[in-house]
């Protein structure tokens, strides 16, 4: 299933209408570090019966609730999004309350997106700027030199230096990268890519994930484990409590003590 790719306008509206905070840890969230989390996981779109059962528990149905709609989207930090469980179990009153709040704010968030899209001139300039940054035709220092005359603002100063635009649409400063390089999977190309993916790893990720050095789609790929011969994620080869033949040294991910 192809995952939802959020536009900058959608990310902005969701971030703005939900108090500029991560819904999972409740800490303040800047727009640049915002990712969008699904309250009910997007994977439910692949299982009609399971989706119907879960929605029914919350008094919902496909006719009045969209898994890929503003009523199911909330802003979050990347690490919070990645570590959140995708499992939906029994009815949780707290989730029901969150869904009610989302329901009331969804129309306003959508109106924000519609307004931004209608402003075609702004849309064209903004998207053109992002494209030029991604292509390396201009740098963030070039952008800083341009906006400085408009007024010295603390948040503008942040964009000077070496920022990276990740495929998810958010930005990260190079100083906050714990590891980077080509995906360490053994193949010549990564999942859903015709070449190796160049990956960046935040220090907020677990040491296990950073040590693996796998593109997230390669990490999540279900395979027959070469160690225990069971089916689990590629990223969990040798991991204690998951792989049935874990590495002796979990920190180094080797059998050497």
What digits encode the pLDDT tens for the residues 91-133? 777 788 888 889 888 998 888 888 777 665 555 666 666 666 5
Q: What is the pTM of this model?
A: 0.50
Q: 44: helix, coil or strand? A: helix
Higher pLDDT, 91 or 62: 62
pLDDT tier at 225, thresholds 50, 70, 90 = very high
Whether 176 shows a pLDDT value over 80: the answer reads: no
Q: At what angle do helices 8-17 and 93-118 cross, to 10 degrees?
A: 130
Q: Is the dihedral of CA 14, 17, 19, 24 positive or negative?
A: negative
Whether 70 shows a pLDDT value over 70: the answer reads: yes
Say which residues have a Cβ less than 8 Å from residue 76's Cβ, sequence separation at least 6. Answer: 22, 23, 24, 25, 29, 34, 35, 36, 37, 84
Mean pLDDT, the chain, integer: 80
Q: What percent of the chain has pLDDT over 70?
A: 75
Nearest to 60 by CA among 22, 98, 86, 23: 98
Q: What's the rounded Cα separation, in Å, for the pair 126 and 148?
A: 18
User: Which tokens belong to 28?
Assistant: 């303040």
Burial of 34 (0-12, 13-18, 19+ CB in 10 A): buried
The pLDDT assigned to 212 comes to 95
By residue count, the chain amounts to 257
Please compute the mean of the pLDDT values over residues 166-189 and round it to a whole number.
77
């Amino acid at each position: 299933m192809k995952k939802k790719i959020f536009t900058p306008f959608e990310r902005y509206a969701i971030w703005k209408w939900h108090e500029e905070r991560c819904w999972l840890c409740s800490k303040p969230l800047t727009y640049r570090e915002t990712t969008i989390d699904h309250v009910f996981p997007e994977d439910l779109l692949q299982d009609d019966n399971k989706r119907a059962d879960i929605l029914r528990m919350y008094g919902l149905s496909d006719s009045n609730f969209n898994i890929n709609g503003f009523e199911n989207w909330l802003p979050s930090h990347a690490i919070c999004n990645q570590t959140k469980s995708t499992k939906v179990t029994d009815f949780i009153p707290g989730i029901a309350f969150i869904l009610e709040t989302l329901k009331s704010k969804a129309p306003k968030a959508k109106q924000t997106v519609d307004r931004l899209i209608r402003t075609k001139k702004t849309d064209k300039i903004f998207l053109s700027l992002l494209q030029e940054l991604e292509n390396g035709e201009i740098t963030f220092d070039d952008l800083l030199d341009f906006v400085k005359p408009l007024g010295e603002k603390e948040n503008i100063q942040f964009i000077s230096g070496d920022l990276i635009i990740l495929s998810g649409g958010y930005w990260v400063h190079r100083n906050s990268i714990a590891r980077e390089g080509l995906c360490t999977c053994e193949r010549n190309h990564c999942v859903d890519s015709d070449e190796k993916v160049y990956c960046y790893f935040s220090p907020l990720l677990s040491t296990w994930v950073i040590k693996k050095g796998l593109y997230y789609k390669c990490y999540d790929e279900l395979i027959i484990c070469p160690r225990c011969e069971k089916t689990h994620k590629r990223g969990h080869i040798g991991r204690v409590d998951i792989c049935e033949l874990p590495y002796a040294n979990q920190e180094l991910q080797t059998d050497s003590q």
